[in-house]
Amino acid sequence: MAAAQPASASTDPLGSAAGPVASTSRGPTPAPPHLKATPPASRAGAPLYDPDATIALIGMRGVGKTTLGLIAATSLRRSFIDADSAFQTLHGPISTFVNAHGWSAFRDAETVILKKLLKEHPRGYVIACGGGVVEREENRQLLQRFKDSGNPIVHVVRDKEETVRYLVDEQARPSWGEEIRHVWARRTPYFESLCTHTIASLTAYPPPPSPQFLMKHVETAFVRLLRSIFGFASSHVPLVAGPRPPPVSGPSSGEYGGYGACESELGRGAKGMRTSFVALNFPDLRVVSAETIRKVAGGVDVIELRVDTLVEVEPVLPFSRVGSPAAANAFGGDAGSGSSTPTARRKRIPSPHFVTLCFGHLRRCSPLPILFTVRTEKQGGVFPDPHDDNPELMTEYLGLVELGFKLGAEYMDVELALPDEVIQRFCSLRGAATQVLGADHDRAGKWQWMSQDVLDKYLRAARLGCDVIKLVSTPTTFDSNLELLKFRARVDALSAAELGTDRPIPLLAINLGKGGQISRYLNPVLTPVTHPLLPGVAAPGQLTYAQTQQALFLSGLILERTFFVPSAAVADAFSREALALGLPYTFLVEDRLAMRKIEPNFGGAYLGFPSSPLPISSLPPDDEVLPPALASGWADLCVPASSEPYSYDLAPSPLGFYKHTNVRVLALAEVITQNLSPINAVGTHTCALLVGLRRKDRSEVVEALRMVGARWVYVLACESDDADEHAAGTSTPSMALDPSRPASPRSRAPSPHHHRNGDAPSAASTANPSRAETPQQNPNASSVPYPQHAPLTLLPIADFSSPRLYAKRPPTIIVSSDDLCPSRFPEQLFASPTGGCALDLSFAGGGGAAGGGAATPVYGPGAAMGAQAPSKRGMLSHAIDDKRARALAAAAGVGTGAVHLAPRVVIDGWQVLGARDVQSECERQAFRALTGRRMG
Ligand SMILES: Nc1ncnc2c1ncn2[C@@H]1O[C@H](COP(=O)(O)OP(=O)(O)O)[C@@H](O)[C@H]1O
Ligand SMILES: O=C(O)C1=C[C@@H](OP(=O)(O)O)[C@@H](O)[C@H](O)C1
């Protein structure tokens, strides 16, 4: 196989030949000659891809293209083709073919197949290409044309060492007859330049109890990326008052209950419109624990990945100048200076591979949207300033910024010092997935906030298409902070004609340093904050989230609130959390709803375990009932309906109206999603079984299953509800719950008084995700993910032996309670070869099983509180234990005994969850719904 040459290292990552780029130091400059002029960028929001466009996956051997391709196809409800399998169908095993005919013949045949696949399946498919497909110029051209005709190409990236280890052990694929690292080095530039998107294929860490969950996090991240680039969902945070986009949700997205951000429709009342992000400046994110990331992100809406502060360490090759002064420098002075031989050195600029893995790790650890920032030195960052006489550095810089778009960062920082054309070009890359935050920093303290110059900066950024504008100055006097406030008022008063855009562009404006701290906490849009666990502040004057909240409280901009919770344990855990976040909130265990009448600072009430939820028929008629409560018929959380941003002059309305929801429905959906392995991602064939549930549990679980996207639900020995009666009355064997038909007789549109201050109607904005899906972009598309009205069909059965139960695929979701369970669970119920999620509500639970899934109460209130839910093992978990014991005994060749395995030992893909898992997730959801902040 001839070694093809990689794309020239000087190729412009924005798509044309490299050339000198104007220095960023002189502010906006004419376009560098090599950057094609682009028409003014349209605003973010429109997807760049047809909703049905076929996706191609490329990447090295063994990185997970086939595995992820299957997952994507299942989740997006498309067909999947593996190009290697297509080859084998035609020519037999690849190894045999290569051994008999050589690599060149293999590549010829591969080209024929690739051409055919890309030509014949431009829509509705996911195609995993062979790892060596980029070796041939002809194939690269085929892929380039495929990309040019509007198809996404995703580069799958896995840790280099891990992949090499895997490939060294792997015997099935034919040998290249060449060092793996050489092949890697040659192909990587091709993959990086051909792809439109990049996904980090990380392995779960710590290792999950079941191998089926090794790639659960990648599945969630990958499906999230695909859904955002096709415009099916968005995790952007509402930054200005007004209508909100539909929430992120849907099968396998793992993000039920609203946005990836901490915003929740209910909690917004207590939080107001202020948003913030935490600036992560760890040198190597890959080694930061998920727990640390969760803690530092407590309360904030967005996480910033500071790419310029990342430090990549690479091995020093034997022929490098070990021990030389240069090597010592490279180690920052603490290596190579003595007699010890250095084995690694710091790379000046992190590689795309390293940045991709850091980004993937962040995705693995947090559902929050990511702001991707490559800050240059001139703007207060660490990335060496790209100069016009250093085109290679400029190419690296622009390449790193472009990588953020490819990774699907929700927000991309683009420095306004770049020329117009470059900014517009970046804006044209964002599609629906990304918003551009144009940033400019006055490090020298020259700006006058009320000068025309500064206004012009804002107007230019708006004209170029930025979605958020960040202006940062260095104050010389305290008055500069007052000037900044006036500047904000001036911007707010701009007319559409002056702005040149159809909507206001959110402004993040702050002053640096101690003298500017007041401007930080008063800033309403995406205030950057730090955290004591970070290596240091990312910019002078940064405050912690808790400090900003305390300062806002002292300024009268956050009001004290009293919330009512069901137990002392919950009150204790929530109070500790509020204290850590600097919130002036009190949590009391009192007689629930009655308190809202007499407590002047009433912020909300949660009626979780051991309280009982309220039937919605008992709620005051003018209160608003949100979909999870409306559909299930039960409400377990309420907050004042008023959603004004809180302020000293806007009193809360304790005697006003209230909004009610059911956080248990959200928690059930979350627990089920997090505990289904990727291969069981909910699809058209997913079957669920409900056994022995009381009316309330049953209706909550059914609603959660509908949110998750389940289609077929068997119901055995459950208390009936209206739906059953309806089904019995019409003697239909199954009953499709039309999402447009409320499951409860109580159905009303929220009354107008709930939507003061230009807020979107909350029922619409928290509408059940399956209803809120918006695949309308192309109603004629042959395969549109997540049909808007995908019905959930209830299939009543009389007992476990009902032939109906075995007519379709075996259930992969089983929810049971011993209360009404008629008999023992037969083993054949667990026939799903890929296991499933067993939720036994009569079982306390082992604290979640999905390796870091949301149901794992290793942190937060669930862990602290220790649920007082049922302590015995329920019949469902017993049955799975017995099945495992029999399987183990059979494998060991001995008779079965009463072997009971620890709940976290999973040998067959079945994840057993209990009441405690649901309860701790309920509490996380409740904290978020009450306070508007995610727990840290
Ligand atoms: N991120 C990952 N974590 C754990 N295992 C992985 C990961 N990516 C791939 N694998 C495993 O490596 C093997 C090769 O994956 P595969 O999808 O066939 O790769 P490719 O199609 O890119 O050659 C499979 O057994 C897969 O489960
Ligand atoms: O790297 C390569 O040259 C190859 C990779 C394989 O695809 P996968 O990456 O899917 O294993 C397969 O096409 C063939 O063995 C050649």
pLDDT band of residue 867 (cuts 50, 70, 90) is: very low
Q: Which amino acid type is present at position 653?
A: S
Cα separations in angstroms, 351 against 314, 346, 354, 542, 661: 10, 11, 5, 28, 46
DSSP state for residue 907 in the 8-state scheme: S
- Residue 376 predicted with pLDDT over 60: yes
The answer to whether 151 and 53 are in contact (CB under 8 A) is yes
* Tally of helices (H runs) and strands (E runs) in the chain: 29, 30
The answer to whether 811 and 714 are in contact (CB under 8 A) is yes
Among 58, 63, 677, name the best residue to mutate to test ligand 1's pocket (greatest count of ligand atoms within 8 A of Cβ).
63
Among 84, 97, 106, 111, name the best residue to mutate to test ligand 2's pocket (greatest count of ligand atoms within 8 A of Cβ).
84
What percentage of residues in the chain have a pLDDT greater than 70?
74
d(CA 574, CA 825): 39
Among 65, 157, 173, 182, name the best residue to mutate to test ligand 2's pocket (greatest count of ligand atoms within 8 A of Cβ).
173
Q: Is 173 in the pocket of ligand 2 (CB under 6 A)?
A: yes
Cα 54 to middle of ligand 2, angstroms = 21
The pLDDT value recorded for residue 438 is 98
- Higher-scoring residue by pLDDT: 696, 334: 696
For residue 852, the tally of other CB atoms under 10 A from its CB is 20
Q: What is the pLDDT of residues 208-227, one digit of tens each?
A: 877 778 888 888 889 889 98
Q: What is the pLDDT of residues 610-629, one digit of tens each?
A: 888 999 999 988 888 888 89
Q: Spell out the domains of the chain, with CATH numbers in brackets.
A: 1-23+49-201 (3.40.50.300), 276-312+349-554 (3.20.20.70), 313-346 (no CATH), 670-917 (no CATH)
The answer to whether 415 and 376 are in contact (CB under 8 A) is yes
Cα 211 to middle of ligand 1, angstroms = 12
Q: What is the pLDDT of residues 733-767, one digit of tens each?
A: 222 222 232 333 343 333 333 332 222 222 222 22
d(CA 237, CA 302): 8
Among 57, 67, 71, name the best residue to mutate to test ligand 1's pocket (greatest count of ligand atoms within 8 A of Cβ).
67
d(CA 935, CA 925): 9
Q: What is the pLDDT of residues 823-837, one digit of tens each?
A: 899 998 998 888 899
Which atom of ligand 1 is closest in space to residue 61's alpha carbon? Answer: 23
For residue 338, the tally of other CB atoms under 10 A from its CB is 10
Residue minimizing CA distance to atom 13 of ligand 2: 130
Q: Is residue 85 helix, strand or coil?
A: helix
Which atom of ligand 2 is closest in space to residue 66's alpha carbon? Answer: 10
pLDDT band of residue 535 (cuts 50, 70, 90) is: very high
- Higher-scoring residue by pLDDT: 790, 166: 166
Q: Is 584 in the pocket of ligand 2 (CB under 6 A)?
A: no
Mean pLDDT, the chain, as a whole number? 78
DSSP state for residue 656 in the 8-state scheme: S
d(CA 616, CA 626): 10
Q: Is 64 in the pocket of ligand 2 (CB under 6 A)?
A: no
Nearest to 63 by CA among 139, 135, 162, 136: 162
What percentage of residues in the chain have a pLDDT greater than 90?
50
Cα 141 to middle of ligand 1, angstroms = 26
Pocket residues: Cβ below 6 A from ligand 1: 59, 61-67, 128, 131, 158, 166, 201-203, 214-215, 218
Cα 61 to middle of ligand 2, angstroms = 5
Residue minimizing CA distance to atom 12 of ligand 2: 130
Ligand nearest to the CA of residue 57, numbered in listed order: 1
Ligand nearest to the CA of residue 132, numbered in listed order: 2
Q: What is the pLDDT of residues 358-375, one digit of tens each?
A: 999 999 999 899 999 999
Question: Which residue bears the tokens 């034997």?
Answer: 318
Q: What is the pLDDT of residues 472-484, one digit of tens each?
A: 999 999 999 999 9
Beta strands across the sheet bearing 624-625: 585-588, 561-564, 602-606, 637-640, 658-661, 624-625
- CA 70 from centroid of its chain's CA atoms: 20
Torsion angle in degrees (nearest 10) through CA of 840, 845, 847, 851: -50
Give a three-class secondary structure readout of 86-102.
HHHHHHCCHHHHHHHHH
The complex scores an ipTM of 0.96
Q: What is the pLDDT of residues 644-669, one digit of tens each?
A: 444 444 444 445 688 899 999 989 98
- CA 571 from centroid of its chain's CA atoms: 29
Token pair in block for residue 806:
């075995």
Give a three-class secondary structure readout of 317-373.
CCCCCCCCHHHHHHCCCCCCCCCCCCCEEECCCCCHHHHHHHHHHHHHHCCCCEEEE
Ligand nearest to the CA of residue 98, numbered in listed order: 2
Residue minimizing CA distance to atom 26 of ligand 1: 64
Which atom of ligand 2 is closest in space to residue 84's alpha carbon? Answer: 13
Q: Is 132 in the pocket of ligand 2 (CB under 6 A)?
A: yes
Residue minimizing CA distance to atom 5 of ligand 2: 131
Q: Where are the alpha helices (DSSP H) in 77-197?
A: 83-91, 94-120, 137-148, 160-169, 180-194
pTM given for the model? 0.83
Q: Is 82 in the pocket of ligand 2 (CB under 6 A)?
A: no
Which atom of ligand 1 is closest in space to residue 158's alpha carbon? Answer: 1
The pLDDT value recorded for residue 550 is 97
Element (H, E) at 753: none
d(CA 20, CA 388): 5
- Higher-scoring residue by pLDDT: 55, 784: 55
The pLDDT value recorded for residue 264 is 55
d(CA 628, CA 665): 6
d(CA 503, CA 526): 18
